[in-house]
Amino acid sequence: MKIWVILGALNGFLAVALGAIGAHAIKGPADQIMDMKETFQSANRFHFYTALGLILVGLLADKLPDWGTLAAGGCLALGMLMFCVPVYFMGMTGNRLAPFPVAPVGGTLMMIGWIALAVAAWVGR
């Protein structure tokens, strides 16, 4: 399905744009800057990898069962949102409390998305 390719490509663009912004815009106490940048870069790395995963789901959609495409794409997309947004927030602000509880759920969903892609590829059409 081309929706996954479109969503992946748009998120690839967003990941590159946010990476550029994060490289220049992170400000804070000198003793926290490196930690904040590393946190931001983690979100950016996962964002970009998952964007590529969505493109892969879209490119393989005609070879995957419909449930596999929906499960893999849906889990990757939702997981990317739930993981990357709070981790980007932590990297930009240094605040580790407010949005953190949702990030592990997002990370778990991304892992499930990759497993769903593997299972769907195994089953195939």
Domain count, the chain: 1
Rounded to an integer, the average pLDDT of 101-109 is: 93
Q: Which residues of 69-99 are buried (b: 16+ CB within 10 A; e: fewer)?
A: bbbbbbbbbbbbbbbbbbbbbbbbebeeeeb
Residue 94 backbone dihedrals phi, psi, to 5 degrees: 80, -5
Confidence at residue 66, expressed as pLDDT on a 0 to 100 scale: 94
Cβ neighbours around 2 below 10 Å, total: 10
Cβ neighbours around 50 below 10 Å, total: 27
Whole domain around residue 97: which residue ranges?
A: 2-123
Q: What is the CA radius of gyration of the chain?
A: 16
Alpha carbon of 117 to those of 14, 25, 108: distances in Å? 23, 35, 14
pTM of the predicted model, to two decimals? 0.92
7-61 residue pLDDT tens = 999 999 999 999 999 988 888 788 888 999 999 999 999 999 999 999 999 999 9
